[in-house]
Structure 1
Amino acid sequence: MRELDCDFCGGTAAGAYEILPDEVDPAPGEQVRVVLCGDCRETLDDVLAPLLDRLGARDDGGVDHSFADATAGHAPSDPSPTEDAIDETGADRDLATDAAAPERTEPDSFRKVMRFLNNREFPVDRAEVSEFAAGAYGLEDDEVREIFDYAIERGILAEENGQLVKG
């Protein structure tokens, strides 16, 4: 996998991040992804903090679960579990359909693989990106299959003739 440069300073990027946290419930066209180094990520997080507070996306009394923490899989500065944030994501959105089926938990590395796919042009060959994702993140084939199946069940992706397309 090639090394990326920070969108802001040009330094070595630490990762790709979604600006708006899931709690804000952005529409697919509203979400913006940026590639940032650690310093620029912290700066952008500090700039966005008052806006996210005002929008009610951060209701934990000042503990900062930054956009990067919530979307890029980085551990928050508070070592306590973040299960609440994960459980609430999208729960109200699909209430009618979720009532009939038990809530399935998000597979490990799901967000990493989804970020990986967001940097790809769709449609993509499922077998090919499965191999790349498994190699890039040290995942087993069945783990990647579970991640893709979960994304298809949630409507994030769809599969057509062995190709993954956006859902």
Structure 2
Amino acid sequence: MSKYYRLIVFCLIGVLLSCGLTSSCSSQLKAKDRHLVHRFEYGKTAYIGPDGLAQAPPHAPKQVKWMVEAANSLVGKPYVYGGGHRQFQDHGYDCSGAVSYVLRAGGKLERPLVSQGFFEYGKKGYGDWVTIYVRDGHVFMTIAGLRFDTGGTWNSTGPRWKPERRGLKGYYVRHPRGL
């Protein structure tokens, strides 16, 4: 199968999932892929520069750009269990604190959530620009196709942009309304 054919197939699957054609009656939708891999979609995919910071696509909605900027501001902060739970501003962040901080910057969250709180956040399914992946004990997100996560690699020391694969077994997908 050619690389372009696979890209078209992945895009069609994404359209079907985002349209809700595969959704169930429950309030949750399981992540469909076995692994999350960075996929490029022209005009909608952010990229990571040599400094480890992301650049939003030029035509992304302003909320997406604000979220990318907020996530960039957390890169280099340490992982701190419970970090970002009591208040958005903290000296370090855990998974839910980091995701909460970024969503707040995009105007999509009023108070920090613990990871379990994301099971009911926003709408079920994949978002066009932002998707939240949640399971018992962990949450991470993709923004404009890039994964922002505190875990999932051997050198997980805090919130980072991560182009590496990530296993999705047990994860459910949610997204902010409108994104």
Classify the TM-score, shorter chain. Answer: under 0.3
Larger strand proportion of the pair: 2
Q: TM-score, normalised by structure 2?
A: 0.24
Greater length-normalized contact order (CA 8 Å, ≥ 6 residues apart): 2
Q: TM-score, normalised by structure 1?
A: 0.25
